[in-house]
Amino acid sequence: MEFEARHSPQLIEVRMTGRLEFTDHDSLPDIVALLDRPGLEQFMLDLSDLAFIDSAGLGMLLILQEEAEQRNAKLVVRGPRDDVRRSLDLARIGDILTIEY
């Protein structure tokens, strides 16, 4: 998985591409570090260009939500498609995370 981030004072947006899977744990601290911004209110995770996510990747989304909440920011997952949406639906992640399709 590769990611790129852009931000405004209250919003940080991370766009993931490729495959988010168990070998991507080493990327997680780098993404969490992006949240350390005073005044951050929303963390937008754009999955529209992500091709695959496994159960470990879903776990990472939940970790990112917890890290965002600890900083009083709200995580919104945007645009999951195809196999990624299948995995999110299968695990009923929409019951836990805010997802914008």
Partner 1 sequence: MTSGVPWTWLGSVTSSRLNIESALTGPALSPARAFCVVRDRVPADVAARAASRFGLAKEGAGSSRSTAAMLVAEASRDTVRRALDQNSFLTVELTELEDTTGAIDGDWLGAPPVEHGFYLSLTTGTAYGMQCAVLVCDELARRGVLRPERRGNIELCLHEAIANAIVHGNMGIPSSAKEKPEGYRLFGQLLKERLGDHDVRQRRLDIFARWSGDSLNIAVVDQGGGFDTTALPEQADGGAHSGRGFLFMRALAKRVSVTDGGRCTVLHFDL
What are the residues binding partner 1 (CB under 8 A)?
19, 21-23, 25-26, 28-29, 52, 54-56, 58-60, 62-63, 65-66, 82-83, 86-87, 90-92, 96
The residue (of 8 and 23) whose beta carbon lies closer to partner 1 is: 23
Q: Tell me the closest approach of the beta carbon of residue 8 to partner 1, in angstroms.
A: 26
Alpha-carbon Rg for the chain, nearest whole angstrom, is 12
For residue 32, the tally of other CB atoms under 10 A from its CB is: 17
The residue (of 48 and 55) whose beta carbon lies closer to partner 1 is: 55
3-state secondary structure of 8: coil
Query: Where in 9-53 does DSSP place strands (E)?
Result: 11-20, 42-53
